[in-house]
Amino acid sequence: MKIPIELRQRIFGYLLPIKPIPARKPERSTPPVWLEILRTSRQIHEEGIQLFYGTGSFVIEICKDGLSMCYAPAAPQIYRPPPRDPTGPPAALPNHALQDYQMQLMLLEQQNKKRLTTARERLGRNGESSREPATSVNGLMSSPPPLAPHHFSMIRSFIIEIIVDDGNQVANYYNPDMPIDPAKLEKTTFDFCDHLHKLVGRLRLQPLTRVQITMRVGENYSQWQEAVVRTRFLLQPFRRLRNIAQPDVLSVTIQPPGMQEMELLQYLPEYIQEWSSDLQSSRPAHESPIFEAYWQLEDMLRTLKQHYRHDDRLEPMDEYLHGARVARENDDQETFGMIWGHVVNVYMDYVNYQKEFQTNMEITIDRINGLLVG
């Protein structure tokens, strides 16, 4: 094209959106844009895409259902470890048309002994595993739909809207005999921390110039100080980001039932200053071994549940996993170590139960085979 690049960029400025791209489709009409210009030629497409993603701001909404971006519905971000090689039961044995009943019993006995020997050898191989270790939380999240990773990686400016909805508990708020369950509020907070850590892990893979945060931290608080504590927890995951030229927390609000909306930033000046300093800094972020260990633990417990078909004996693992989340956010290695010890004990008790059950079944099989073979 013979048009100077400066003039082409100015033309693009009239055709492409100038406001941040919202996470959800706006109810009101917005200024028209003409993205069809990108189909004119490959050169125009590449220049327009670079300008569109590289200079525009994109809103990511985080709610209890997951992440939403570019009008797409909220999508939960699940820890997905690397794919494993499929395993399954051995292939069916060929149908031996043996007419002699005694020979059939002898064959059955040999097959059972072979299976038992194989099982014992498998149980005896301590520490051997074909399962690949889980990957780090950094980058484990796929780009929020509908953007492809290539286009998501071009973005340099994000506005992140955190919307915490604890549910409609207005009646509880006014009824002292039915207080809000603090355990539920705590779980909601750490669920959001999980979402944020996975998003931050993805954002760390690309250079960013601006990250702006807006937050509504629920409504079910007896005192505003409780909302301030929750706000600090929800902002903490972003402190793993570095080299952000313009980090900013635009607003943090709550609106208790029957009251006006309340801005909380005025109660967080020192924390926001430290938060901004961390994001602007070029020094490496603090890498806690507990942080990485937690995601390994989460993947391990999910695999256990799937493998053992959600056996009731593994129910305590959910409580331990939540305790590990709390220890993760507080960088409490001592508590995390205690929880890990409990997890190992529960698992070993379950394994010993399975071994005892298997041994009893083997004895019964051998006894019946002995009676039949005689």
Return the pLDDT at 174: 45
b/e per residue, 1-34, with b = 16+ CB within 10 A? Answer: eeeeeeebeeebeebbeeeebbbeeeeeeeeeee
Cα separation of 18 and 174, whole Å? Answer: 45
Residue labelled with tokens 């009676």: 371
Return the pLDDT at 37: 65
For the beta carbon of residue 252, count every other beta carbon within 10 angstroms: 26
Question: Token pair of 362, please?
Answer: 């083997």
Question: Closest Cα partner for 60 from 24, 16, 17?
Answer: 24
Q: Are residues 219 and 266 in the same domain?
A: yes
Q: Are residues 153 and 263 in the same domain?
A: yes
8 A C-beta contact, residue 248 and residue 212: yes
Q: Are residues 265 and 347 in the same domain?
A: no
Residue labelled with tokens 């980001």: 241
Return the pLDDT at 109: 52
322, part of any domain: yes
88, part of any domain: no
328, part of any domain: yes
Element (H or E) spanning 285, and its range?
Answer: none
List phi, psi (to 5°) of 26: -70, 150
Q: Are residues 157 and 266 in the same domain?
A: yes
Q: Are residues 268 and 297 in the same domain?
A: no
Q: Are residues 141 and 200 in the same domain?
A: yes
CB within 8 Å of 20: residues ≥ 6 apart: 56, 57, 58, 59, 159
What are 213's strand-pairing partners? 160, 249
Element (H or E) spanning 42, and its range?
Answer: helix 42-55
41, part of any domain: no
20, part of any domain: no
- Listed residues 262, 280, 298: the one ending a domain: 280
Q: Are residues 296 and 263 in the same domain?
A: no
Q: Are residues 213 and 230 in the same domain?
A: yes
147, part of any domain: yes
Strands 57-63 and 262-263: unpaired
Q: Are residues 273 and 358 in the same domain?
A: no
- Neighbouring C-alpha atoms within 13 Å toward the C-beta of 13: 7
- Listed residues 280, 308, 324: the one ending a domain: 280
Cα separation of 161 and 371, whole Å? Answer: 71
Q: Are residues 223 and 295 in the same domain?
A: no
29, part of any domain: no
176, part of any domain: yes
**Overall pTM > 0.85:** no
Cα separation of 335 and 314, whole Å? Answer: 20
Return the pLDDT at 5: 64
Q: Are residues 173 and 306 in the same domain?
A: no
List phi, psi (to 5°) of 67: -115, 140
**How many folded domains does the chain comprise?**
2
* Domain interval for residue 210: 56-76+137-280
Q: Are residues 275 and 300 in the same domain?
A: no
- Listed residues 280, 311, 336: the one ending a domain: 280
Return the pLDDT at 336: 94
8 A C-beta contact, residue 15 and residue 33: yes
Residue pLDDT tens, the chain, 374 long: 567 666 766 776 666 777 888 888 777 766 666 566 667 777 777 777 888 888 889 999 998 878 888 877 766 555 444 444 444 433 333 343 333 434 444 554 555 556 556 655 655 555 454 445 444 555 455 556 677 888 899 999 999 999 987 654 444 444 544 556 778 888 888 989 998 998 998 999 999 999 999 999 877 676 778 889 889 999 999 999 999 999 999 999 987 767 788 899 999 999 999 999 999 999 999 888 999 999 999 988 888 888 877 677 778 888 999 999 999 999 999 999 999 999 998 888 888 988 998 999 999 998 998 888 76
